[in-house]
Structure 1
Amino acid sequence: MTVEYHTSKLNKKVLSLGVPARIAKFSAISVVLGIFAALPIALAGEAKALQVQVSPETPRLGDTISVVVNLDNPANGSNVTVTNGDQTYPAYEIAPQQYRAFIPTTPLEKAGTRNVQVSFEGQVQNLSIQVRDRKFPIQRINLPPGKAGVEATEYELKRAAEFKAIRTPEKFWDAAFLAPNKGPITTIYGVRRYYNGKFANDYYHRGVDYAGAAGSPVVAPAAGRVALVGKVSQGFRVHGNVVGIDHGQGVASIFMHLSRINVKEGDIVKPGQLIGAVGATGASTGPHLHWGLYVNGKSIDPVPWRDQAVK
């Protein structure tokens, strides 16, 4: 009806200029078709290719791969999806028209190509990311009587799993992470281990150990919300006294073997804020701090997060 209405108007206008009716009808239809023919060009101009940035350019096993997506049309930005194999990683807004997803890598994976697909509103971009190999040292640990063969309780495993599954859309951190203790690092990330002579299959050291003196301060490496507080008295046999901080957008820190806890669940902490003290609780051979950093549920190397800002 709309087309016929406008055609009638155009016919009258053309006829008023003294053009014969047959020619006027043809002219009017041509004008209308011309209008509709122009529409796809305008609409096509609105959809541009996705702009995707990946860092680091040459990641190693244990690194966190950052995939940043810039959108020309910010509408429905939450529909950005980033997939790698059968895994889909959430993409969170970090700036107007800009979204980011983190892809974690671990020592239990193989080096090689990661085929990553970024999708948004019908637009798809396929990426091939080369992940380099990395050699992780092997360590032999002899646990003293009473701590050898200690197994986590069901409650401990449940709380730890719930903590690692947290995905908060808000981003709390805004700078490079701080070292949570002033002691030297004695065990790096990714170490494979023999416990009392038996190799631990599917195990790698999920964090870094700081040889801080017993009772020395443990501070929050970045801003966040305390999402886990566990104690030996509650059944945390392996973790010992533990604090977990949700930094937002799938990033979370865990601090184990504490002698003292200075925060409670739900507290908002700032970078450098005191959260506890170094201890030897749980499965520990002596006083030290274990700091683990998880990205989308997997333990990654926290050192790159400490050495440079992942904003």
Structure 2
Amino acid sequence: MAVRPLKWWLLIGLTLFSAIAAMMFGVSRADALQVMLKPSTPKLGDTVSVWIASKSQNSPSVEISGQQYPVFAIAPNRWRAFIPTTPLDKPGTRQVIVSADGQQQTLAMPLASRQFPTQSLWIDESGGGLEPTDYEWDTVSAFKKLVTPQKFWQGAFLRPNDGEITTIFGVQRYYNGVFAEDYYHRGVDYAGAYGSPVISPADGYVRLVGTVAQGFRLHGNTVGVDHGQGVLSIFLHLSKIYVKDGDFVKAGQVVGALGSTGASTGPHLHWGLYVNGQAVDPVPWRYESIE
């Protein structure tokens, strides 16, 4: 007779544990729609993954303050969206709204502040170095807007060059003594040896090849790789380019050589990582698998 009460209290305990776990991890307990944010407490520059489970056969929608983000199927009845955050965002709590077939879940996304250093650079502008040509601007802007349905990367990203990191993501700058408003360093700089190999950190298609001869006077010789689903890598200031537009490259494949072309104060590689059109901190992508 004592067995039945034991099972009853065990059931209550498991139910309470599930409810507490759901609250801790930001998961809705609704049967038809479950949502989780990772990381649950991001800081400026992080990429936030929105994981969705739904019985619906239709793709859910994800939005913050009216802005919608692409959603991709990752398994039967499972979807994922990426929300990029940048140093220009204001810290504070945002509401992530996920909808599917009349069901709706709203999760709080507390975005924590982060301190970024300031740097002063002096660049010779005699060749118009700080201003891109119209062709350069249009070509790079179009690349950053790419959102390919397929996912090409697998696991954590590789380091694109063995050089020492000299400028981290998010740094604010004075250019020739003038503070750059609404600016942040949109990548990571590696001061490797001139001519040292630059590799693709993950699988993807080459969708951008730009050269100084074509008018890339700001970025210098440039390669852009589409890793799929709105995730893009861009490599600037190259001395040589070893790929062409349309090539499929594997993680670790050499795409170019480190140089100092364009607006550059010395040999280095600038690696920028873009998610849904916004430059995010590449470092978390190197140390964990962001899926």
TM over 0.5: yes
Is residue 2:49 matched to residue 1:66? yes
Q: Which residue number in structure 1 is paired with residue 242 of structure 2?
A: 262
Q: Do the aligned residues in 2 keep the contact of 1:225 with 1:246 (CA within 8 Å)?
A: yes
Is residue 2:157 matched to residue 1:164? no
Equivalent position amino acid for 1:67 in 2: V
Q: Which residue number in structure 2 is paired with residue 99 of structure 1?
A: 79
Q: Give me the whole-angstrom Cα distance separating, in 1, the residues matched to 2:144 and 2:77.
A: 28
Equivalent position amino acid for 1:209 in 2: D
Q: Which residue number in structure 2 is paired with residue 306 of structure 1?
A: 286
SS of corresponding position for 2:222: strand
Is residue 2:33 matched to residue 1:53? no
How do 1:267-306 and structure 2 match up within 5 A?
267-306=247-286
How do 1:68-147 and structure 2 match up within 5 A?
68-73=51-56, 75-76=57-58, 78=59, 80-144=60-124, 146=126
Let me know the Cα RMSD of the aligned residues: 1.2
Q: Do the aligned residues in 1 keep the contact of 2:129 with 2:217 (CA within 8 Å)?
A: no
Q: Do the aligned residues in 1 keep the contact of 2:129 with 2:263 (CA within 8 Å)?
A: no
Q: Give me the whole-angstrom Cα distance separating, in 2, the residues matched to 1:168 and 1:149.
A: 32
Q: Which residue number in structure 2 is paired with residue 219 of structure 1?
A: 199
Q: Do the aligned residues in 2 keep the contact of 1:211 with 1:289 (CA within 8 Å)?
A: yes
How big is each residue's C-alpha offset from its partner over 1:60-115, in whole Å with a ceiling of 9 and x where there is no partner?
A: 00000110101224x22x3x100001210010112222111100110011100111
How big is each residue's C-alpha offset from its partner over 1:267-297, in whole Å with a ceiling of 9 and x where there is no partner?
A: 1110000100000000000100000000000
Q: Which residue number in structure 1 is paired with residue 213 of structure 2?
A: 233
Q: Give me the whole-angstrom Cα distance separating, in 2, the residues matched to 1:274 and 1:105.
A: 29
Q: Give me the whole-angstrom Cα distance separating, in 2, the residues matched to 1:116 and 1:147.
A: 45
Q: Do the aligned residues in 1 keep the contact of 2:129 with 2:218 (CA within 8 Å)?
A: no
The answer for unaligned runs of 5 or more in structure 1 is 1-46
Q: Do the aligned residues in 2 keep the contact of 1:148 with 1:196 (CA within 8 Å)?
A: no
Q: 1:156 to 1:149 in 2, by over 3 A?
A: closer
Q: Do the aligned residues in 2 keep the contact of 1:61 with 1:131 (CA within 8 Å)?
A: yes
Structure 1 length-normalised TM: 0.82
SS of corresponding position for 2:290: coil
More helix as a share of residues: 1
Equivalent position amino acid for 2:172 in 1: R
2:172 corresponds, among 179, 192, 196, to 192
Q: Give me the whole-angstrom Cα distance separating, in 2, the residues matched to 1:129 and 1:150.
A: 36
| Alignment: residue pair count | 262
How big is each residue's C-alpha offset from its partner over 1:204-254, in whole Å with a ceiling of 9 and x where there is no partner?
A: 000000011110000000000000000000011101000000000110000
Structure 2 length-normalised TM: 0.88
Q: Give me the whole-angstrom Cα distance separating, in 1, the residues matched to 2:135 and 2:176.
A: 26
Q: Percent identity?
A: 60
The answer for unaligned runs of 5 or more in structure 2 is 1-29
Q: Give me the whole-angstrom Cα distance separating, in 2, the residues matched to 1:86 and 1:210.
A: 37
Rg: which structure is higher? 1
Q: Do the aligned residues in 1 keep the contact of 2:129 with 2:262 (CA within 8 Å)?
A: no
TM superposition shift of 1:148: 6.8
TM superposition shift of 1:149: 5.4
